[in-house]
Each structure stands twice: as structure tokens, then as C-alpha cells.
Structure 1
């Protein structure tokens, strides 16, 4: 089963004129969103129990680069007290899941993991668009600039990364970077020029999700989505979450539907004239946060 979530990388056409016409996105000039072209992720059918853990707000941050909390200027601006507390909440966030083939956990990306995340996103996007390998270096540069800009907007947005540890019989394999997903929580964290159909800028939004090619079909993409939703529940007062799905991506559409998302708007055929794939804007209303024990978690299976 393929999973797709939208891309939202800003590319400056005035500086990068060698790009194909379909590789365009936002800034202050007219552009076509890359998020129009989500890439496929594969998810394996399996019965699983959700198990998550998030440290309380008052505890010391353990998963975010401590220097980021000690020096708020690392975000590129001064932080209010509320923003500082929300940044600590991001640092404390963890999502853990046992899978049939191993285990995975998700947290906020650290500074030292930027290049690895850039490589994962660039390669996945090039693969989904059938781009030649010669474009990878350019993609890496543009994606890195984008992630740096988005990181400066924390805690109004965050890039999550997932790690996977497989099982080989009774032995556990080495932990490795498995995937990433981006979430924005409010208007200040929203992209300047989101893809069409345009979601509300003051509502949470999920995009830029991918799974490492060698680790697909293991449930990682599904749990990246669930981790993003859980973090949104803690960081935003809005219960409505939006994402995009291309009309041609039937498998991702089915997965989002299973996850509770419904179509609220669809691109018109005019988008085809702009060299874009038609997309659904999908929305889900998150439930109120509840404390759950592992015994109360219900299994969920995703059909291939």
C-alpha cells in the first residue's frame, strides 16, 4: 500500500531557473506548490497496538538539542514565555510503537540530524517524480534551506523524525533513521503559500512525509501520521487537522480515510493547466486528549 503526504518546499525561481516547471513553490512571488506532488510511501498490513509516551510539560527536555533550549536565539528570534514552554513541550515529546518486524519511535529533529533528514526527503521526492539522479544535489540544497527556515519558526511548526530498530530472530538490529513528517500548529507556523485547495492557515497541517525506501511496508508511515496527530493534540487548541492527497493516489486516500480524514475540497481541472496533479484537501477532527493505558489501546490494521 502506498502512502502519500504533501510536499511544501519553497523554491526561489529567480535564483534557480534550471528547474523543471513542475518543481516550484512558495515565497512572495507566484509559484506552484511542490506539495501538489506527494510521493508514495509503502505500508504493510498488520495488527498493532498503539503505545505512546509524552513527558509532562514540567519535566526537563530530553529529546531536543539542549542548546536550542538554552539559547532561544537559535530559533532566529526572541521567544515569549509561552513559546519557550511550548518549545520545551516539543523537546519532551516522544511516540513509541512496537511493530511486528521491530520497533520505532518518533521525536523532534535535532540540529545534528538536519543533513540526514534532508537526504531522505530529497531522494524520496526525486524518486516520486522520476527525476534523474543529477538533480539530487540541487534538491538537497533547496530542501536544506527550507528546513532551516522552518526550524526557525519553532514552536509553531516542527519536523519529526522516526527511528526504526528491526528484529532478526532473537537479535535486534541497529537503530536507523526511517522517516520524517512535518506538522504546523497555527497561523505563524503555516506555509506562506500553501498548495491548493488552500487549507485554513490557523489550523494544524501535516505534510512532507516520507519513509526510507528500504524500510517501507512495515507500518512506519502510518505511525508517523499518528505521531504527528498526537503532537498536534498537545500543541494546538484546534482539533481540525488538514492534509493533501493527490487524486491519483488511491492507496494513500484509502489509508487517510481509515485514519478518519474526509474530503472537504478538490482541485478543479484548471490545476492541470498549471502542470499540477489534482488534489483532495482532507480534514480530520482529533479527539480530546485522554490518558490511555496499553490495555485500553485498540488494535488497528491497514489493508494492502
Structure 2
């Protein structure tokens, strides 16, 4: 389990060592345009509003990217397409340090799941993600607090955020700008995991940006190769995960329990399509969903 605070600081350190200027306590507010192409950023910092011109911009400003939208790209998500996530770091836990725990169902996390990720020394990340339209209580924190109280976990840190789980946005490039990570919806719709997907796409974005600057071509036609490459690399996996998530959305708690019991003790990596269909024949709702999707 990554120590996210240390991980982010490590990335900033590596960037600075490579020559980047890291601006703390600063927020991008607007874009600078040159002849219709993005050519810089307006940002607010402790010294006031500043501007920086550049060859091109990479927008990695998270879900509902305002920077990409200022460039004319549609990066908004509807409430039902976003997972509300809350997490505590907990201490004094008696948990298996080699086992990750997952809890599903409407009692724990409607249209999502709850997790316990051990970090050693009796600590763990305990959190959940739910789509708000399916919450029957005040919100995701009420589900998490109830779980923490039932288990007697002690809270030592709290984090919250939003994760897009409907697949990527339709377009991730325009003249002078690329969109990466949560801002582009580059998140696994089934698990809500985004770091590994974003890392793959960010590497491609960096390569394309370098090619664009070196060739003097930052127009959308040239930058479209970014979208072609990342969709080839991770696009099919994201589409498949979205289909699986939609199947799980259609299951009741009882059907989900029965399905998991039927898979108990089986090597999931070795299950063939034929054997999977034999298992699913007992679950008409899943078969109906599959039929509608195909």
C-alpha cells in the first residue's frame, strides 16, 4: 500500500531534480490563448495572479477539469457517474497484514465497495466509495463511520474525494492541450483505481508533448496521436471494466452473495468462458444484462 503523501512528494522531488519548477500554494485559474491555441496558464499564488506562457499545457487537475473545459473540451460528469470516496487511516488494528478486505452490498457501500488495506504495524487505510444517487443515508461518511464503530477502529487521518467511474471523456486533446488522469476519466470503472491507468496515460502524454514541441506542431491534429495511443494501450480494459460494473449494478445483495459463494475456492484466472456461463446460468438477471450489452 502506497503512502500517498510520501508518493506525491517523491514525484514532486523527481520532477524538480529533472528541471521542473514546482509551484506550491498555487492554483491554475484560466488559460492563455494564442491564435486559438492554448499557449499558457493564468494561476493564483501567494504573490497574486501570475501568468506563464508555454508551448502547450497538460491538464491533470482532477475530476470535472475546469482547465480542459476552458479549452472547449467536455470533461464534466453527471452525479451518477461519480463515486464519492471517504477514507480514514486507522491504528491499533488486529488485521492480517497480508490480506486486503473488501465488503460489498447495500449495507456497507451501495453501488460501490468498502475496503481495508493493511499498511503494517497495526495500521490500515479503511475507506469506501459509493455513487451518491444510491445512498439511502446522509452520505458515504455515515456508512464508513458505522463500519469503524462496529470494528472499534481508531481514526488518525481522514481523506475524501470524487472519482469518475463511467469511462473516459470523449476527447482528451485540442490545440495546445492534453488531458490526463481523473480529468480525462482515465479510471478503472469497476475498481475506481486510477493511479496505474493515469501513469500509463501520463507517460504517453509526456512522449507526445515532447514530440509536439520538438516538431513545432501543437495543433489538435498532431496531438490526436496521444488519444490514439492511450486508447490502444488501456482503452479496451476500461471498456471491459465498465461492462462488468454495469453487470454488478444490476445484482441484488442476495444474487451477489450467491455468485461469490459459487466462485469460492475457484482459480478465477483459469475459469473458461464456458465454465463461467455454466455458473451464470443460475443468475438470470446477469444473463439478461449480458444479452442487452452484446
TM-score > 0.5 by shorter chain: no
Pair member with larger Rg: 2
TM-score by length of 2: 0.24
Relative CO higher for 1 or 2, CA cutoff 8 Å, sep ≥ 6?
1
Q: Which has the higher helix share?
A: 2
TM-score by length of 1: 0.23
